[in-house]
């Protein structure tokens, strides 16, 4: 289902069949091919982690150019990402919020999921271990991009995004695409955190110091009405692959790769 595509030194994981079916393009970016330096090398897409804003803007421009949507650069829309469960719908009025770190309107405030039915508005959220989820309703078409760390997952950000997208008219055809994130192999958390998810998600074992956040998200998707057969998981651990992805747990201060969705 996923296909790794590289252009101009920038690699993304995408689903060509999805674009062919409904005109929805999605991309989970890797960290190579950008202009950032040091801990942020090289395709850092985040304006809130200490990288030079001008370099982040250049990286975003390079990413959109590599996937052939550079004409939509000023419509790029980002969110504040506060580890909550707020889902914000993006219309033409909000288009371009947070597009440029160096100026213009700021990102959509207080949101960890963005949804749109509008064509030509790329939605971009940033990650360095948390789980990126792209939801697609091909029949509408409509898309949502979700940022799910353990706090957001506990707050129900995935369920909220599915419900918001499901409320749109049309057939029950939602699909979920889950990008790279820290795996249960590497994600050490406190006993209280594991216990919380053990009480809420049957797939999580309490007798462990490691949390399989991917399993939490898969369970949340299924309980929200997206069965396993309409979920696709990239299955790459960010902490084990810091040569290709950013990992805050493995690296400390670092950049952010992205999850992007757009209706063309």
- The full set of domains in the chain, from first to last, is 3-263 (3.60.140.10)
| pLDDT band per the 50, 70, 90 thresholds, residue 215 | very high
Residues 27, 79: Cα–Cα separation, whole Å: 17
pTM of the model: 0.95
Element (DSSP H or E) covering residue 20: helix 16-22
* Structure-block tokens of residue 104: 């213009």
C-alpha 13, offset from chain centre: 12
Tell me the per-residue pLDDT of 185-196, one tens digit each, with 9 for 90 and over. 998 776 666 656
**For residue 170, is pLDDT > 60?**
yes
For residue range 38-74, list pLDDT tens digits in order.
999 999 999 999 999 999 999 999 999 999 999 999 9
**What's the rounded mean pLDDT across residues 24-36?**
98
The predicted pLDDT at position 194 comes to 63
Token pair of 224 as six digits: 């929200």
Q: Is the pLDDT of residue 101 over 70?
A: yes
Query: Stretch 23-27: mean pLDDT, rounded?
Result: 98
The pairing of beta strand 175-178 with beta strand 231-233: parallel
Q: Which of 15-24, 158-167, 199-208 has the lowest mean pLDDT?
A: 199-208
Residue 196: the pLDDT is: 64
Burial 29-38 (b: 16+ CB within 10 A, else e): bbbbbbbbee
Residues 240 and 185 sit within 8 Å (Cβ to Cβ) = yes
The tokens describing 164, both together, are 């918001």
- Whether residue 252 is predicted with pLDDT greater than 60 in this model: the reply is yes
What per-residue confidence (pLDDT) applies to 97? 98
């Amino acid at each position: 289902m996923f296909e790794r595509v590289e252009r101009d030194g920038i690699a993304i994981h995408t689903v060509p069949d999805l674009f062919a079916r409904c005109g929805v393009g999605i991309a989970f970016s890797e960290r190579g091919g950008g202009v950032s330096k040091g801990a942020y090398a090289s395709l850092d897409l985040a304006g809130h982690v200490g990288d030079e804003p001008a370099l982040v803007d250049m990286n975003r421009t390079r990413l959109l150019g590599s996937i052939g949507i550079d004409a939509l650069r000023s419509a790029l829309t980002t969110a504040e990402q506060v580890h909550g469960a707020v889902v914000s719908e993006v219309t033409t009025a909000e288009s371009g919020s947070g597009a440029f770190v160096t100026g213009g309107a700021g990102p959509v405030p207080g949101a960890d999921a963005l949804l749109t039915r509008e064509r030509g508005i790329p939605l971009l959220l940033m990650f360095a271990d948390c789980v990126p989820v792209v939801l697609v309703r091909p029949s509408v078409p409509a898309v949502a991009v979700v940022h799910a760390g353990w706090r957001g997952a506990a707050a129900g950000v995935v369920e909220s995004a599915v419900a918001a997208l499901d409320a749109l008219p049309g057939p029950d055809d939602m699909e979920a695409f889950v990008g790279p994130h820290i795996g249960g192999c590497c994600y050490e958390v406190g006993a209280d955190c594991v216990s919380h998810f053990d009480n809420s998600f049957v797939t999580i074992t309490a007798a462990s110091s490691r949390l399989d956040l991917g399993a939490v998200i898969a369970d949340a998707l299924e309980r929200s009405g997206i069965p396993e057969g309409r979920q696709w998981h990239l299955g790459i651990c960010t902490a084990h692959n810091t040569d290709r992805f950013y990992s805050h747990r493995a690296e400390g201060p670092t950049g952010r790769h992205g999850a992007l969705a757009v209706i063309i």
